[in-house]
Amino acid sequence: MASLKEEVLSRRTFAIISHPDAGKTTLTEKLLLFGGAIRDAGTVKGKKTGKFATSDWMEIEKQRGISVTSSVMQFHYHDCHVNILDTPGHEDFSEDTYRTLMAVDSAVMIIDAAKGIEAQTKKLFKVCKMRGIPIFTFINKLDRQAKPPLELLAELEEVLGIESYPMNWPIGMGKEFFGIYDRFNERIEQFRTEKEEDRFLPLNEEGELAVNHEIKKSALYDQMLEEIMLLEEAGNEFSKERIAEGELTPVFFGSALTNFGVQTFLETYLQFAPPPQPRQSDQGEIDPVNEQFSGFIFKIQANMNPAHRDRIAFFRICSGKFERGMSVTLTRTGKTSKVSQSTQFLADDRSTVNEAVSGDIIGLYDTGNYQIGDTLVGGKPLFQYEKLPQFAPELFVKVSAKNVMKQKSFHKGIEQLVQEGAIQLYKTLHTENYILGAVGQLQFEVFEHRMKGEYNSEVVMEPMGSKIARWIENEEDVKESLSSSRSLLVKDRHGKLVFLFENDFALRWFQDKNEHIKLYHPLDEKSY
């Protein structure tokens, strides 16, 4: 049996981030294919075949072909144990993605070669950079017409402010795409080959093709050699240390849909991606090979199995070893309990997990005890991991049950879906009418869809538009008479008072008139 240290060092846990439709779910599928986790990659686009992407399990995702929840998938490749977290690309679900990025040790950023860096990629990249986690870049869709590769690199460095090192370089693109010049493995990988053994062509010491091939006569080959020479002379130097510090991103070109360049990417990624790293807690840094078991919950998902109406808490192990049946203490409450039901994932396909180590992501069955951000610890001493980001919602709706006779399922549905953290619940002070807040409109649509499909409760939603939510430090000084249509006073689900301001002007006007009331935002902007 391998030692705890060996087990932990074999883990690679990463999130895939990108703008919607850059090919994130497709790349995830292909990586699972190489890991032997699935036999047949179902693509999101292939709706007519009835094949859906392995990582998109929720009904609304299958209908729309988008990812709105973060999935977790695990597989072995060579000597590594890989945990992939496929995040929602849609910006309305960025909060879920931010929390997921807290649970990984590195990130893979996918860029559409024709579109370059898009808004959502920029936002997510910023979070990775802030955490200092290594970022690996996969420039996708080279089998279509795209921006020139040098332009893409310049964009990467200018827009994102990170230096890049191309591990390979495309020869042509679109209909003229011949393949990639693999700088790292010193070979050329052909895009279309009749025989598998002809796929890789060797290079000589000068970095040119060592065999006779018709591509040598092509202008594309000459252009590629010129660009490689330019990269060697004026490009960044390769540095394993700077990759580990998140200051240099290795760049790979390929096409996830046609499965080209994916295996080369995976093998190189596993060489340079970090194993589990130490994490900050209120008792200092916790080493992943520390014998004491600990970790935190970064996501809660209800009804992954509609037949059982279950709730799963996604748990990142940060130190020690998990064994099914062990006793753990929830730091927030000090309560100790036995973990008898635990699971590992391949999207909605799950298997019971008896053992797992630092770096792994496991699912814990939850009867409503856990909250996002909770720390679980085996034994003593107790400690708490860093807080997870929480965002003030920007859009609000009033919500009620369409059928008054179905209040029970309405309340149960709201309670469970709110605990997942995608929507936030507020109540008016005396009438206790429900108000939902979210970062984006799509979250309301998913909420409505799931209430009907999973709880058999149709809802009526009345838009309230965008509001600015502010919590109150000195609640005892707040009088109900301060509540108005422009500064509505409500309670959040934890019973704390919150003002919902109509706009910036209303917020400033309120602060000028009520200087004694100290308002705050739940997320300190300095930290995220």
Whether 297 and 352 map to the same domain: the answer is yes
Q: At 462, which CATH number?
A: 3.30.70.3280
Binding-site residue positions = 18-25, 86-90, 140-143
> Residue 364: inside a domain, yes or no?
yes
56 found inside a domain: yes
Of residues 362 and 86, the one with the higher pLDDT is: 362
Of 134 and 453, more confident: 134
Looking at the structure, tell me whether residues 216 and 296 fall in a common domain: no
Q: Is 301 part of a structural domain of the chain?
A: yes
Q: Distance between CA atoms of 260 and 54, rounded to whole angstroms? A: 20
The pLDDT confidence band at residue 389, using thresholds 50, 70 and 90, is: low
Confidence of residue 207 (pLDDT cuts 50, 70, 90): confident
Ramachandran class of 409: left when φ > 0, alpha when ψ lies in -120 to 50, beta otherwise: alpha
- Together in a domain, 286 and 415: no
pLDDT digits (tens, 9 = 90+) for 147-195: 999 999 999 999 888 999 999 999 998 888 899 999 999 999 988 776 7
Instruction: Indicate the range of 311-320, 390-399, 484-493, 516-525 predicted with least confidence.
Output: 516-525
How crowded is the C-beta side of 316, counted as CA atoms within 13 Å? 33
Domain boundary residue, one of 317, 351, 378: 378
| CA atoms of 273 and 254, how far apart (whole Å) | 19
Residues 207 and 290 in one domain: no
Domain-located, residue 25: yes
**pLDDT above 80 (res 76):** yes
304 and 332 within one domain: yes
Q: Is residue 160 part of a domain?
A: yes
- Give me the pLDDT at residue 102, please: 86
Q: 3-class SS at 281? A: strand
Q: Could you tell me the sign of the dihedral formed by the alpha carbons of 74, 138, 56, 276, in that order?
A: positive
Digit-coded pLDDT (tens) for 247-288: 999 999 999 888 888 989 999 999 999 999 999 999 999 999
The residue count of the chain comes to 528
Judge if the upstream peptide bond of residue 381 is cis by omega within 30 degrees of 0.
yes
Mean of the pLDDT values across residues 458-474? 90
- Asked whether residue 253 falls in the same domain as residue 295, the answer is no
161 and 202 assigned to the same domain: yes
pLDDT at 349: 46
Domain encompassing residue 509: 395-520
The pLDDT assigned to 483 comes to 86
Tally of domains in the chain: 3
Could you read off the pLDDT of 327-364 as tens digits, one per residue? 999 999 999 988 887 766 543 445 667 788 999 988 88
Tens-place pLDDT, residues 39-74: 433 333 333 344 444 444 344 344 443 333 446 778
At residue 306, the 3 state secondary structure works out as coil
* Residue positions forming the annotated binding site for GTP: 18-25, 86-90, 140-143
Residue type, 25: T
168 domain residue, yes or no: yes
What is the CATH classification number for the domain harbouring 193? 3.40.50.300
Q: What is the pLDDT of residue 55?
A: 46
Note the pLDDT of residue 94. 55
pLDDT for 423 beyond 50 = yes
Domain annotation covers residue 83: no
Q: DSSP 3-state helix, strand, coil percentages of the chain (rounded to 5)?
A: 30, 30, 40
What secondary structure does DSSP assign to 206-265, as a single string?
TSSBSS--GGGGSHHHHHHHHHHHHHHHHSPPP-HHHHHTTSEEEEEE-BTTTTBSHHHH
- Are 230 and 105 found together in one domain? yes
Q: Where is the domain boundary, 315, 345, 378?
A: 378
Last residue of a domain, one of 217, 241, 272: 272
Cα end-to-end span (Å), the chain: 41
Q: Which of 232-236, 366-370, 416-420, 464-468 has the lowest mean pLDDT?
A: 416-420
The answer to whether residues 184 and 168 touch, using CB atoms and an 8 Å cutoff, is yes
Predicted confidence band at 75 (pLDDT cuts at 50, 70, 90)? Answer: confident
Same domain, 137 and 266: yes
pLDDT at 69: 41
List Cβ<8 Å contacts ≥24 apart for 278-283.
279/318, 279/319, 279/385, 279/386, 280/385, 280/386, 281/375, 281/383, 281/384, 281/385, 281/386, 282/383, 282/384, 283/381, 283/383
Of residues 93 and 420, the one with the higher pLDDT is: 420
Q: Is residue 402 part of a domain?
A: yes
pTM greater than 0.85: no
**pLDDT value at residue 57:** 39
